[in-house]
Structure 1
């Protein structure tokens, strides 16, 4: 990747991987955030710098929906952001859309039924339960049923017709930041969150992706109880409602971003392809190789 960064976001659009925002310093708390957008082309294994976002953002959400990229909330040198913007890849241009109802960072989001959903985050000096959906036609954010647990720096994804929210942090009665190990599932038809099997340990700032519409993969993250960075690759089976550890990253990692992208085998060294040719066919199948399998692709 052309630029080192943390607290950034990735999304896949038209078979390209886009890496947006983040910050170049580990300890700047958003003050050294960037608005840079890079596009990775797996066909030729190259990066291209695209039009930057209109605002610098770290700790924000990025989604691909209807052929566009949406960047929501976050934090920069001015503090928490309520703004949101949309990127048109055909025009290589960003424009602002309706803002959130309050400045929020450390939120998470996902696409369900062709709609952008965001939840949680940190605002007004506390972690939030809020859950919002964006109406693209009216350019409006609508409030939905809140989460069961307030959380920020958490993970969110979609499996089939359900949203899943897991991990993150909240404040205890002493005002201290602690892990949230619980996991929630949202059903859009009844507008309801329910609690399901918790994570194996509390994690925040981990990477998350799905591959086969049956499992959720969580990569790395920070365990506040042990105060250690994690290197486990964990998988949640929606059918069994249970967690398992599949393997490890080469080294512990957090504040990363993950996605799943179809890659030609020419991107990988021949020995790498051979090493993983015997793995689960849902992870390596013909030309489909998950970004979970290489730390250099967990951006």
Structure 2
């Protein structure tokens, strides 16, 4: 999978340090040997050999594919990854999307066991239809993908019908389902795109899949029952940006998008005057799967004003929407006005409240019985990154809550919470420890004995900014 990065210097390294002539000689010898021995492993039936390969850690696949053509084919086959599921040898990797120089998107994958980062291949030029052949460098303003607020995006556009014509590409949504990453929609020049791109780690490549039924940008995504849901967003209408209430679902097995009922936005229907109803536009500001349903917090906006109006819940069993519980909607912490990030870990719903101070934040967990958000003891060490579009990201990784952020030295940190510690908010838990910390990362761990966080991985990021993070388990 792409270029490998070492843990210490984070520079791309070749898998083998050999001369070109020696490598060529070795390849000829290897090819001739394996041509005479078509089995995956000589003297072993392929049924047994595939069982062995299915137990091979994913970090070894890059080098293992170089053994022979038959090994490469086996390691890129769906049969092997299905066998890994049956054997329980699947591995969770963390995928982080960053942007460089305000325009170049780069994905990196983290293997938490070896703590080695791997760089993914660049996405195809999705704006090629507009004659832009400059690769990913042409995809400007990608920093507004996913976690950025719509308000920042539409600022300066209102009242300028030609403004979107100046924007090469922006506003995609990111999701992950069935072991693949998905990049959906966005604006390309003056058009809202339907396009959907998929990254398959088994073949380490991007491909275009069935487009959405309607072009949309800044939509919200969530996964439920192994299907990818997309709701809301905006499109380009005659008068400028038009908010969408529609929703649809993608089944990765069939490759088909299916429309589901549109969000009612019932709170928007009870505004006191027709003037306000026309002025305030309803938008979805987040989306998460929780307790078998999809929860979508919502706001009404008219730049620069945002009014939180609770949210709505989609039930796939009844294929219908209902109003979100009052306490959940009113107390949902907001990253910035208009964006509400959350993550479900082992059945519990978490959100991060950045308002406690400039250099820290608090985690809140939703109590569905009391219909209230409750603060967890222990600050999250997040530096003051007010200039950053995405100062932090949340993920459910290895069964624990993780926060991805950058430190003052421009390193990306993956911080993991001690779940047992964090769920017990009593003051007596402040002395809990994590056990041994990673030696080379110890300088990044808070010195305070009351910290519930430890850094499980880091890498030099420089000026790169965080955009999104996803988990793939294959």
Residue 178, structure 1, aligned to residue 306, structure 2: yes
* Aligned twin of 1:189: 317
Contact 1:20–1:36, Cα closer than 8 Å, also in 2: yes
Quick one: distance in 2 between partners of 1:271 and 1:230? Answer: 15
Which of 319, 324, 347 lines up with 1:213 in the alignment? 347
After superposition, the C-alpha distances for 1:240-297 in whole angstroms (9 at most, x for unaligned) are 3212333454436653432122379538538838857775xxxx7xx998x9xxxx99
Quick one: distance in 2 between partners of 1:214 and 1:84? Answer: 30
Whose helix fraction is larger, Structure 1's or Structure 2's? Answer: 2
Which of 246, 250, 268 lines up with 1:134 in the alignment? 250
Which of 92, 96, 102 lines up with 1:15 in the alignment? 92
Consecutive unaligned residues in structure 1, runs of 5 or more: 3-12, 26-31, 222-227
SS at match of 2:350: strand
RMSD: 4.0
Deviation, 1:101, is 2.5
Deviation, 1:76, is 5.4
* Aligned twin of 2:370: 240
TM-score by length of 1: 0.71
Say how many residue pairs are matched.
Answer: 263
* Aligned twin of 1:70: 182
TM-score by length of 2: 0.47
Q: Which moved more, 1:57-66 or 1:125-134?
A: 57-66
Which of 384, 400, 404 lines up with 1:251 in the alignment? 384
Q: How does 1:36-115 map to 2 (within 5 A)?
A: 36-54=106-124, 55=126, 56=139, 57=142, 58=145, 59-75=171-187, 80-115=192-227
Q: Which has the larger radius of gyration?
A: 2
After superposition, the C-alpha distances for 1:2-36 in whole angstroms (9 at most, x for unaligned) are 8xxxxxxxxxx9411112365743xxxxxx3x442
Contact 2:97–2:107, Cα closer than 8 Å, also in 1: yes
Quick one: distance in 2 between partners of 1:23 and 1:82? Answer: 25
Q: 1:288 to 1:65 in 2, by over 3 A?
A: farther
Consecutive unaligned residues in structure 2, runs of 5 or more: 11-89, 127-138, 146-170, 266-281, 399-415, 417-435, 459-465, 470-474
Deviation, 1:239, is 3.5
Residue 159, structure 1, aligned to residue 332, structure 2: no
Contact 2:352–2:361, Cα closer than 8 Å, also in 1: no
Quick one: distance in 2 between partners of 1:50 and 1:42? Answer: 16
